[in-house]
């Protein structure tokens, strides 16, 4: 068992969670400016934490950048599964509900997602989140008898990229403020309604 976790610093501890978000933000910011391998020293300096604290959170510092990305994606998947049915009475429209959950997750983790939205280097995270969202949406593709395009097809990838671009603009212009999501939520819904004709 990890020594730091054994001393009461569990993943449910508020201090642990705050430090984890601080480390994630530092790594995202460093990815924006450092195109090569990010060092432990750089992360510690940017996060204003000790190297020991970093090791408590990420014992394998060799793959920390990809680990952070995986954590953000896993967190979003869990939130999407948890909230999709829970919010069904509050937001009956399925597509609106799914997009709201996506934006709410980004807003709840804004210290990480604002830097993600501000730099193209981190675009893969937004693209991955839109990709996870795609199967949950109700989209009518033409011709109506055809099946929804699979992820990886040109049509689906174009739609996912357009969703990620809208998310990026929302995050960049509003600092992931959920109260200012209305216009961007409507853009996502309009894109979804028009997906069959726009993504050919």
pLDDT of residue 40: 80
Distance CA(181)–CA(59), nearest Å, equals 37
Q: Is the pLDDT assigned to residue 118 strictly greater than 90?
A: no
pLDDT of residue 13: 82
For 5-14, 104-113, 174-183, 184-193, which range has the lowest pLDDT when averaged over its residues?
Answer: 5-14
Distance CA(180)–CA(173), nearest Å, equals 9
Distance CA(21)–CA(200), nearest Å, equals 39
Q: Is the pLDDT assigned to residue 6 strictly greater than 60?
A: no
pLDDT of residue 1: 39
For 45-98, the pLDDT digits (tens) are: 888 888 888 888 887 766 777 788 888 899 999 999 999 889 999 999 999 999
pTM of the full predicted structure?
A: 0.77
pLDDT of residue 91: 94
Q: How far is CA 103 from CA 4, 34, 89, 123, in A?
A: 33, 27, 18, 15
Distance CA(44)–CA(40), nearest Å, equals 6
pLDDT of residue 162: 94
Per-chain mean pLDDT for the chain: 84
**Coil, helix or strand for 65?**
helix
Query: Among the residues of the chain, which ranges form H helices?
Result: 3-6, 14-33, 40-47, 51-57, 64-86, 94-108, 110-118, 123-133, 154-174, 182-193, 195-198
First-to-final CA distance of the chain = 52
Q: Is the pLDDT assigned to residue 3 strictly greater than 50?
A: no
């Amino acid at each position: 068992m990890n020594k730091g976790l054994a001393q009461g610093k569990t993943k449910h501890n508020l201090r642990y969670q705050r430090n984890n978000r601080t480390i994630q933000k530092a790594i995202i910011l460093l990815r924006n400016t450092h195109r090569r391998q990010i060092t432990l020293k750089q992360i510690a300096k940017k996060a204003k934490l000790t190297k020991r604290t970093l090791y408590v959170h990420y014992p394998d510092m060799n793959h920390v950048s990809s680990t952070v990305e995986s954590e953000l994606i896993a967190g979003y998947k869990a939130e999407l599964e948890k909230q999709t049915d829970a919010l069904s009475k509050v937001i009956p429209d399925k597509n609106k509900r799914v997009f709201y959950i996506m934006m709410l997750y980004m807003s709840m983790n804004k210290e990480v997602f604002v830097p993600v939205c501000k730099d193209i280097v981190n675009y893969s995270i937004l693209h991955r989140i839109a990709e996870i969202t795609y199967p949950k949406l109700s989209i009518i593709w033409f011709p109506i008898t055809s099946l929804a395009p699979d992820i990886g097809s040109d049509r689906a990838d174009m739609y996912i990229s357009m969703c990620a671009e809208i998310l990026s603009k929302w995050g960049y212009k509003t600092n992931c403020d959920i109260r200012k999501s209305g216009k961007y939520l409507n853009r996502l819904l309009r894109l979804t309604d028009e997906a069959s004709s726009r993504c050919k």
